[in-house]
Chain A
Amino acid sequence: MSLEDLKNIPYGKTAIELKNIFLAFGGVKALTDVSFEVKKGEVFAIIGPNGAGKSSMLNVINGFYKPTSGTINFAGTDRGEMEPEFAAKSGIARTFQNIALFKGMSTLDNLMTGRLLKQKQNFLMQALYFGPAEKEEEEHREKVERVIDFLDLQSIRRTPVGSLPYGLQKRVELGRALAMEPEVLLLDEPMAGMNVEEKQDMSRFVLTVNNELKTTIVLIEHDMGVVMDISDRIVVLDYGKKIGSGLPNEIRSNKAVIDAYLGVADDE
Chain B
Amino acid sequence: MLYKETGQYKSTYKSDHAIFPLIQDKIAFSTLMFIAFLIIPFVINSYWEKAILVPFLIFSLAAIGLNILTGYCGQVSLGTGGFMAVGAFSTYKIMTYFPDLNIMIIVLISGLITAAVGILFGLPSLRIKGFYLAVATLASQFFLVWLFNKVPWFYNYSDTGQITVSERLMFGIPVTGATAPPYATYLFCLILVVLLGFAAKNLIRSKMGRSWMAIRDMDIAAEIIGVPPLKTKLSAFAISSFYIGVAGALYFAVFLGAIEVTESFDIMTISFPVLFMIIIGGLGSMLGSFLGAAFIVTLPIGLKFIMVDLVGLSAVTAKHFEITIWGLLMIIFLIVEPHGLARLWSIAKEKLRRWPFPY
Contacts and interface: CB of A to CB of B under 8 A. Distances in A.
A114 B207 CA distance: 10
B223 A103 contact: no
Given A113-B214, A121-B207, A123-B208, A85 B228 contact: yes
Given A102-B213, A104-B213, A176-B225, A126 B207 contact: yes
A88 B221 contact: no
Contacts of B187: none
Contact of A105 (B14, B207, B210, B223): B210
Contacts of A127: 199-200, 202-203
B221 A96 contact: yes
Given A84-B224, A88-B225, A116-B227, A104 B211 contact: no
Interface in A175-202: 176, 180
Interface in A78-125: 84-85, 87-89, 93-94, 96, 100-105, 109, 112-114, 116-117, 119, 121, 123
B217 A103 contact: yes
B284 interface: yes
Contact residues on A (Cβ < 8 Å of other chain), bracket: 35 or more
Interface string B211-234: 101101110111111111000000
B217 A129 contact: no
A5 interface: no
B228 A100 contact: no
Interface in A43-72: 62, 64
Nearest to B231: A85
A128 B202 contact: yes
Given A102-B213, A104-B217, A138 B225 contact: no
A128 B199 contact: yes
B17 A141 contact: yes
Contacts of B13: 137-138, 141-142, 145
A116 B228 CA distance: 11
B217 A102 contact: yes
A142 B13 CA distance: 8
B235 interface: yes
A128 B223 CA distance: 27
B199 A89 contact: no
B206 interface: yes
B253 to A, nearest CB: 24
Given A113-B214, A126-B207, A62 B202 contact: no
Given A126-B207, A127-B203, A138 B227 contact: no
B284 A64 contact: no
Given A114-B225, A117-B225, A126 B17 contact: no
A228 interface: no
A88 B218 contact: no
Contacts of B221: 96, 100-102
Interface residues of B, number: 31
Contacts of B214: 102, 105, 113, 116
B214 to A, nearest CB: 5
A115 B277 CA distance: 33
Interface in B132-160: none
A131 to B, nearest CB: 12
Contacts of B235: 123
A133 interface: yes
Contacts of A96: 221
A116 B225 CA distance: 8
Contacts of A138: 12-14, 17
Interface string B1-14: 00000000000111
Contact of B226 (A89, A112, A123, A137): A89
A88 B224 contact: yes
Contact of A134 (B14, B217, B218, B220): B14
A132 B208 CA distance: 15
B270 to A, nearest CB: 25
B206 A116 contact: no
A64 B224 contact: yes
A109 B205 CA distance: 9
Interface in A149-182: 176, 180
Given A84-B223, A100-B221, A104-B217, 11 more contacts: A62-B224, A101-B217, A101-B218, A101-B221, A109-B210, A113-B214, A116-B214, A123-B235, A126-B202, A126-B203, A128-B202
Name the 5 nearest CB pairs between A and B, nearest first.
Answer: A88-B226, A102-B217, A100-B221, A129-B202, A127-B199
29 contacts: A62-B224, A84-B223, A84-B226, A89-B226, A94-B224, A96-B221, A100-B220, A102-B218, A102-B221, A103-B218, A105-B213, A105-B214, A113-B213, A113-B214, A113-B225, A113-B227, A116-B225, A116-B227, A126-B202, A126-B203, A126-B207, A127-B200, A127-B202, A127-B203, A137-B17, A138-B13, A138-B14, A141-B13, A180-B225
Interface of A: 62, 64, 84-85, 87-89, 93-94, 96, 100-105, 109, 112-114, 116-117, 119, 121, 123, 126-129, 133-134, 137-138, 141-142, 145, 176, 180
Interface of B: 12-14, 17, 199-200, 202-203, 205-208, 210-211, 213-214, 216-218, 220-228, 235, 239, 284
